Each structure stands twice: as C-alpha cells, then as structure tokens.
C-alpha cells in the first residue's frame, strides 16, 4: 500500500513537471492577455492516469507553475483552480462513459467536458479581472481553439499510451 502511494506521488510529480513543460513549450499570446498552449493534453492525461486527487494536483500545480514562470502571474490562482476542476471533471466523465470498457468515445467525452470547464472558468475569470462581460466573451474563441486541440490530442495520446502499456502490463 505504501509503495503504491509513493509510486502515485512520484508519477504525479513527473506529470506536473511535464504539464509545466507542455504549457511552456508552445505559447501563442492572445489579444486578451492570455495564451494558447498545449498543456491541456497533460491535464487530461494526468486525470485519466492518476485519478481525481493526484491527477488534479499534477494538472493544477504544473499549469500554475507555467503561468508563474512565463510571467502570467495574475492567472496562476485561477489556473490552479480551473485546471484542478478540469482534471476532476475529465476523470469522472471518462469513468462514467467507460464503465463497461475503455473507449475512445469515453476519452473524448471526458476531455470535451474538461475543456468546457476551462472555457467557462477563464471566461468568468476574465470577466471578473477586467470587469466586463465583453472581456469574458473575448476569451472564448482562443480557449475554444486550445480546447479542441487539447481534447483531440489528449484522447489520441492516451490511446497510444494505453495500447503500449497493455503490452507491458502497466495501465
């Protein structure tokens, strides 16, 4: 039991670091003072691999660290909460749709649900931060682009990992 917790904690740390790197690797600045990135791929993967507790910790810490490192400090607290919520939603929607067996549809459903949380979360944050509904609405298209990529890529990457790890009895 103790070894299993240590393994999960170690994997969570590694996934948090990978989330930070994936978020920093490609950053496309947006007109609403945020940026489009590839970190959501790791947010979903962390949830599906580690579950809601460790997965949300890895996803949120890794994403918030990327905000701090890249100078988007004002977004870090919101990112911490939004990415944690994304991971939890992604995990539970995925599990709900894959009760009989894991399928690509379940992965995609979990990822899409998580990306909707992201789009809504950052719209609310932008609205509060800038004090206007129009600012909130301006963040939606860029987050939609990031969400579509994140959902498709995370589902595809997880399928590849799952197929390889089944051969090695890892997942």
Compute the average pLDDT of residues 108-137.
94
Buried b (16+ CB within 10 A) or exposed e, 25-60: eebeebebebbbbbbbbbbbbbbbbbbbebbbbbbb
- Confidence at residue 169, expressed as pLDDT on a 0 to 100 scale: 59
Question: pLDDT for 49-71, tens place per residue?
Answer: 999 999 999 999 999 999 999 99
Q: Quick check: 171 pLDDT over 60? A: no
Q: Which percentage of the chain shows pLDDT scores above 70?
A: 94
Confidence of residue 1 (pLDDT cuts 50, 70, 90): low
For the entire predicted model, the pTM comes to 0.91
Average pLDDT, the chain: 91
* Domains along the chain with CATH numbers: 2-168 (1.10.1760.20)
Q: Where are the alpha helices (DSSP H) in 1-132?
A: 2-25, 40-69, 76-97, 104-130
| 3-class secondary-structure state, position 163 | helix
């Amino acid at each position: 039991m103790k070894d299993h917790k240590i393994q999960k904690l170690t994997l969570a740390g590694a996934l948090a670091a990978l989330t930070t790197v994936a978020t920093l690797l490609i950053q496309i600045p947006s007109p609403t003072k945020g940026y489009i990135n590839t970190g959501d791929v790791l947010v979903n993967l962390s949830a599906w691999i580690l579950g809601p507790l460790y997965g949300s910790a890895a996803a949120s810490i890794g994403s918030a660290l990327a905000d701090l490192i890249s100078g988007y400090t004002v977004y870090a607290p919101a990112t911490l909460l939004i990415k944690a919520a994304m991971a939890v939603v992604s995990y539970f929607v995925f599990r709900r749709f894959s009760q009989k067996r894991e399928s690509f549809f379940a992965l995609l459903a979990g990822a899409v649900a998580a990306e909707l949380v992201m789009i809504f979360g950052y719209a609310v944050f932008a609205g509060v931060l800038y004090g206007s509904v129009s600012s909130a609405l301006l963040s939606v298209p860029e987050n939609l682009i990031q969400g579509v990529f994140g959902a498709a890529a995370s589902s595809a990457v997880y399928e590849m990992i799952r197929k390889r790890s089944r051969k090695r009895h890892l997942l």
